[in-house]
Structure 1
Amino acid sequence: MNHEELVALDHQYAMQTYGRFDVDIDHGKGATLYDLAGKEYIDFSSGIGVNSIGYGNEKWVAAITAQAQKLGHISNLFYSQPYAQLAQTLCRRTGMAAAFFGNSGAEANEGIIKMARKYSFDKYGKGRGTIITLKNSFHGRTITTLTATGQDVFHNYFFPFTDGFRYAQAGSIDAIQEVAGHDVCAVMLELVQGEGGVYPMDPEYVHNLAVLCAERDWLLLVDEVQTGVGRTGTLFAFQQYGIIPDGVSFAKGIAGGLPMGGFLVNERCRNVLGPGTHATTFGGNPICAAAAQVVLDTLDEDALAAVTEKGNYIRTRIAHMGLSSLGESRGLGLMIGVEVKGEESNKVLAARLIQHGLLVLTAGTALRLLPPLTITMAEIDKGLAILEQTLV
């Protein structure tokens, strides 16, 4: 099959819900990808942060293969080793108490929303189910997580939306206080607003928010769908902020390319969701869990330190290029936003970079860079050379 045939197949049989770039991807190794014609691309996108340990990782492939030969799926009505071992690894490396496994980031966020409301219901009864989220946030594509998303552009078409959410300006405790009331049960935030433009939260603000939540007996929910699993230079971003959230969602990079999500809870929330209150058919799938264990084994302390070093290197190199179309960068680890200047939009620049062999993303008004966490320095330099030559 060639590119034109693939595009025709897509247009005939797939719903046209994505604004795809006119590029196909056939295979890859490390952080380097190839299309059907053999053209090479350096990947600064990792499938929107999913391919955390790159492409063709031999240990990852071997673990998936071995588990597929042994057990591909079993109902959560039975015990199996892979999910239990993965839960142990996540809890031991984060200080959290227990894990729930699902399939996606939106599902993970739905889970912590349900948990917060049940925690409050169990303790206070009805009427205390409102969750405060931040303006410019993004929490998913289901009806409820779209409602939780603090961007008006997403609040259209799919009426009626779910009740029980209010929005506050990020960075201001006063803004939280202004929208708070006796009906609030939780605050939910991203520590780096990813889809909104890659904006890290101020540590003092996060600390003060954690104190406020403790005082009001609100749960502190952290959406780490994009920031989690090593993306920011620690296994989870909350570990850099000196807090222990009540619930932390994760997805994207956890299984290195297979669909998996879930959430972690602290000790006081361990038993909030009991038998029959929350479930998902494919949660804790043995193959996905085996893949995730390889991801976590790969992202040891040295690998996580390297994420920070690589991120700093990329941001420094881009700053020194002095490109007229790019402004300042921001982010944590290998979650980088580079502001776009001038008349051309970030989408125009992204399309040009992709055409020249560098896969990048956009977020807000910025270019968004999410390379595989295991990207080599040689691949980074190759990608940066394409960026400089294309946008000069």
Structure 2
Amino acid sequence: MHVTRETFDQVMVPNYNPAQMVPVRGVGSRVWDQAGNEYIDFAGGIAVNALGHCHPELVSALTEQGQKLWHLSNVFTNEPALRLASKLTEHTFAERVYFANSGAEANEAALKLARRYALEKFGEHKQKIIAFTQGFHGRTFFTVTVGGQPAYSDGFGPKPGAVEHCNYNDLAAFEALIDDDTCAVMMEPLQGEGGIISPDPDFVKGVRELCTKHNALLIFDEVQSGMGRTGHLYAYMGLDVVPDILTTAKSLGGGFPIGAMLTTTEIAQHLKPGTHGSTYGGNPLACAVAERTFDVINDPVVLEGVKQKEQQFRDILATINAKHHVFSEIRGKGLLLGCALNDDFTGQARQFLDASTTEHLMCLVAGANVVRFAPSLVIPEADISEGLSRFERAIASVVAAK
């Protein structure tokens, strides 16, 4: 059966507006479409393909597990899930792991756990959740309400209650909002969808101290910032702050859908049998691929390489911007970078993305004013150089059309 981009308009719900080309094959940081055109991938499936496309280690893990065991349900446990959980707890602050299928599901579990913990330990009054404007935590009704972007949560009827927001990096506003009725604070240690906003170190430390003071659980949403993305295994490790609960997904599976919630033994005990679950969560296929992904990424050479590649991006982007004057700053950390547009190009991030696609470069946006890059953590330096050459051509075409 031959399908084209037009097929999308005929059979798919119109909640996405995908590019006109249809990718059919990928190797490393290169992708080919139906017409055989080659693209360089700076999008990484939105920070998912942390080891690029069809990494031989991941292909091997998937095919090996695919010939053994696919699915059991949580009436049974399985070896890949146990090995992956063991590695996650060995290499992070956590002692317990819950597996899900996505970042939104991991965040949903974290929020439900925080509410249950507070209810059982302190009583019904302790239910307030604080999160941050421009935050993004998923698309379930609970997580999208906690995410601080009303455009995503409005228009679906009454929202879950006792959720409040304040501005990221505004410690005074946060201190005024948190109290003894607060059960949890959910934050990204590097805001992704909200525009690639790095946290002020004093802000993060202040949030941690105030959470401790008010017996509120600090939940770090590391769905986008985790698994080597910042040059640390998890971003909290570079901030000198330890959360009570951490969520991870995206890069965790290297392209295979999986999410996880990590926490301590004391907090975890409040999710007793029957309180929460997931049919596919922790299935052997996903966990086998994620375990291999974890093994490859959790390597000092790979993590140090992320920092070196960040510097290459920043150096070349600075040269490009000196010529074309389109960015006010390059934001982010590691290989989660945002090119913030200056006042002359306000609101035109999508034009830069479309022009990049025309130049055979895949990239992303983070809001209307930021072009986002989240490439493979092992992208070769030659692909970074070539991709940024294409990006410069895209920039030139947008500037010329202005």
The TM-score bracket by the shorter chain reads: over 0.9
Give the secondary structure class of the aligned counterpart of 1:234. Answer: coil
2:381 and 2:265 mapped to 1: Cα distance?
A: 40
Partner of 1:356: 359
Query: 1:192, 1:343 → 2: CA distance?
Result: 24
Q: In the alignment, is the contact (CA less than 8 A) between 2:113 and 2:268 conserved in 1?
A: no
How many residue pairs match? The answer is 390
Q: How does 1:82-97 map to 2 (within 5 A)?
A: 82-97=80-95
> Contact 1:146–1:155 at 8 Å: present in 2 too?
yes
Residue matched to 1:325: 326
Q: Tell me the distance in 1 between the aligned counterparts of 2:152 and 2:39.
A: 31
Q: Is the 8 A contact 1:319 1:328 kept in 2?
A: no
Match of 2:400 in 1: none
Separation of aligned partners in 2, 1:218 and 1:156: 27
CA displacement, residues 5-39 of structure 1 (integer Å, 9 cap, x when unaligned): 41222111111110212121010100000001110
**Partner residue, 1:302:** 301
Alignment of 1:127-142 (within 5 A): 127-142=125-140
Q: How far apart, in 1, do the equivalents of 2:97 and 2:300 lie?
A: 22
* CA distance in structure 1 between the partners assigned to 2:59 and 2:349 by the alignment: 35
Q: What letter is aligned with 2:384?
A: I
Q: How does 1:35-114 map to 2 (within 5 A)?
A: 35-114=33-112
Pick from 143, 163, 166 the counterpart of residue 164 of structure 2: 166
- The secondary structure found in structure 2 opposite 1:338 is strand
Deviation at 1:174, TM superposition (A): 1.8
What SS does the corresponding residue of 1:249 show, helix, strand or coil?
strand
Residue 362 of structure 2 aligns to which amino acid in structure 1? Answer: L
CA RMSD of aligned residues (A): 1.3
The Cα of 1:95 is off from its aligned counterpart by 2.6
Q: Deviations over 1:219-269 (max 9, x none)?
A: 000001100111111111011111221100111111111111111002431
The CA deviation at 1:151 is 1.7
- What is the alpha-carbon distance in structure 2 between the residues aligned to residue 32 and residue 256 of structure 1? 15
Question: 1:58 deviation in Å?
Answer: 1.0
The amino acid across from 1:287 in the alignment is L
Cα distance in 2, alignment partners of residues 36 and 104 from structure 1: 28
Distance 2:363 2:169 in 1: 28
Q: Map 1:259-338 onto structure 2 (within 5 A).
A: 259-299=257-297, 300-321=299-320, 322=322, 323-338=324-339
* Number of the residue aligned with 1:384: 388
Give 1:84 shift.
0.4
- TM value normalised by structure 2: 0.94
**3-state SS in 2 of match to 1:17:** coil
In the alignment, structure 2 segments of 5+ residues that lack a partner are 397-402
The SS at the match of 2:223 is coil
Find the counterpart in structure 2 of residue 373 from structure 1: 377
Query: 2:329 corresponds to which letter in structure 1?
Result: E
Report the secondary structure of 2:23's partner residue: coil
Q: Give the Cα separation in 2 of the matches to 1:337 and 1:259.
A: 25
Match of 1:347 among 345, 350, 358: 350
Quote the offset at 1:278 in angstroms.
Answer: 1.2
SS at 2:67 equivalent: helix
User: Following the alignment from structure 1 to structure 2, what is the Cα–Cα distance between the partners of residues 343 and 225?
Assistant: 30
Matched position secondary structure for 2:156: coil
**Which piece of structure 1 moves more, 376-385 or 150-159?**
150-159
Give SS of 1:139's match: coil
Q: Give the whole-Å Cα distance in 2 for the aligned partners of 1:262 and 1:159.
A: 29
Write the letter of the residue equivalent to 2:374. Answer: L
- Give 3-state SS (helix, strand or coil) of 1:222's partner: strand
The one-letter code matched in structure 2 to 1:350 is L
CA contact (8 A) 2:135 2:148 kept: yes
Task: List alignment gaps of at least 5 residues for structure 1.
Answer: none
Displacement after TM superposition at 1:327 (Å): 2.8
Q: Which amino acid aligns with 1:349?
A: F
